[in-house]
Structure 1
Amino acid sequence: MYVVTVVFQVKPANAADFRASVLAQAQNSLQREPACKRFDVCFDPQSPERVFLYELYDDRAAFDAHTQTEHFAQFSAAVEGWVEDKTLSFWHLD
């Protein structure tokens, strides 16, 4: 399995809007992408501007397909100006 983790640092003024958008993105990914097996969205209770994603895909090709979906493009465009920092990491789960 292919694991993607993402840590977002969101601008404080946009934290609530980002939260709604990223939760919708997770739901869309799980419902529309059979190869997306998990899409967890975690919020730091001490800092609502810090968001952690844990995504699980069948393989790298499935993640690459995810990044080409319409809902991914819409999410990325919507949150682009709200994000101060974004760190992606890629893992393999045996």
Structure 2
Amino acid sequence: MPYAVIAHYRCPAQEAAQIREALLAMREHTLKEPGNQAYEVHAEVGAEPPAFILYERYTDRAAFDAHAASEHFEKFILGIVRPLLTDRTVRFAETL
């Protein structure tokens, strides 16, 4: 069953460009994963402080788990994005 992830990130204004760059690099790597079906990065319009919304879809939970264990996840998300965030909300869903 397809597995979806919706993440909402907030950051200080001075960190937005670096986070945007890391998320776009992450998208390029993730779209090449065999279990990935979608990885969309959005900048929330008019958000103060800046905010990003991610929509990700995987073939199943195991594909997401492989994604979360990847080198690019560690490099971009754990190494760059998360330390710069002021708030992070992540929701998981099964696609109907």
TM tier, shorter chain? over 0.9
Q: Secondary structure at the match of 1:17?
A: helix
Question: What is the aligned partner in structure 1 of residue 74 from structure 2?
Answer: 73
2:60 aligns to what?
A: 59
Which residue of 2 is the match for residue 14 of structure 1? 15
2:66 and 2:41 map into 1 onto residues whose CA distance is 20
Name the aligned partner's letter for residue 90 of structure 1.
F
2:63 is the counterpart of 1:87? no
The answer to which structure has the higher strand fraction is 1
Matches within 5 A, 1:21-36: 21-31=22-32, 33-36=33-36
Mapping of residues 36-47 of structure 1, within 5 Å: 36-47=36-47
Sequence identity percentage:
34
User: d(CA) in 1 for partners of 2:83 and 2:66?
Assistant: 24
Find runs of 4+ consecutive structure 1 residues off by over 6 angstroms.
none
Aligned length: 93
Structure 2 residue runs of 5 or longer lacking an equivalent are: none
Question: Which stretch shifts more, 73-82 or 14-23?
Answer: 73-82
Alignment partners' CA distance in 2, 1:10 and 1:23: 16
Offset, 1:81: 2.4
Deviations 1:69-93 (A, max 9, x none): 0000001211232101111101111
Distance in structure 1 (CA, Å) of the matches to 2:62 and 2:34: 12
Q: Deviations over 1:2-45 (max 9, x none)?
A: 000000011211001100110110111002x1101100001112
The one-letter amino acid of 2:14's match is A
Query: What is the distance in 1 between the residues matched to 2:70 and 2:55?
Result: 18
**Distance in 1 between the 2:83 and 2:4 partners?**
26
